[in-house]
Amino acid sequence: MAKADSKSANKAGKTNKSSLEQVLNEQVANLNVLYVKIHNYHWYVKGENFFTLHAKFEELYDEVTEKMDAVAERLLTIKGSPAATMKEYLEIATIHEATGKEDQRAMVQTLVEDFATLSESFQEGIELADKAGDEATADLLTGFIADLEKHMWMLRTYLG
């Protein structure tokens, strides 16, 4: 009976690891799509808040770059394979590209929504990492959620 329990535990562990890898890959894809989207906003923002938003968008895409790299490297550390092409990112991501028609308010509102999507995905990753006994991944994603919550607060405050 112990053998059966051991096999079940191994199977569950593999399932959790595979699911964790899938969630981390989704995050890599989302962060890459978000990076391109925020660059679009940085380049095409217009209006009375141009200087404020232009600088904020640059700050955000720089931060997204660091998070993207950290998640991809964590995925490699746990012997996963991060997506690494635009085709893969667009197939996997749950965040959508910029339309190119957003005004400054829509840009900020969309980022709030995208950050909420990322936060939910990071929470899912934390839960899977906890189940797999992967404290390093859970800690990494927990810090990311705190960063996103602060950005969402600031962006919502901007929207009024």
Average pLDDT estimate for 89-110: 97
In the block, residue with structure tokens 């490297």: 73
What confidence score (pLDDT) does residue 18 get?
Answer: 67
Neighbours of 28 (CB within 10 A): 27
Q: Which among 43, 49, 57, 37 is positioned nearest to 99, based on CA atoms?
A: 37
Cα separation, 53 vs 8, whole angstroms: 52
Classified by CATH at the fold level, domain 9-159 comes out as: Ferritin (1.20.1260)
Report whether pLDDT(68) > 80. yes
Sign for the CA dihedral angle at 54, 64, 118, 136 comes to: negative
Banded pLDDT at 2 (limits 50, 70, 90): very low
- The DSSP call for residue 101 is -
Average pLDDT estimate for 121-147: 97
Kindly state the tokens that stand for 103: 């005004």
Cα separation, 148 vs 41, whole angstroms: 18
Q: Tell me the C-alpha to C-alpha distance, in Å, between residue 124 and each of 22, 64, 74.
A: 11, 19, 16
Report whether pLDDT(1) > 60. no
Task: Indicate whether this model's pTM tops 0.85.
Answer: yes
What confidence score (pLDDT) does residue 12 get?
Answer: 40
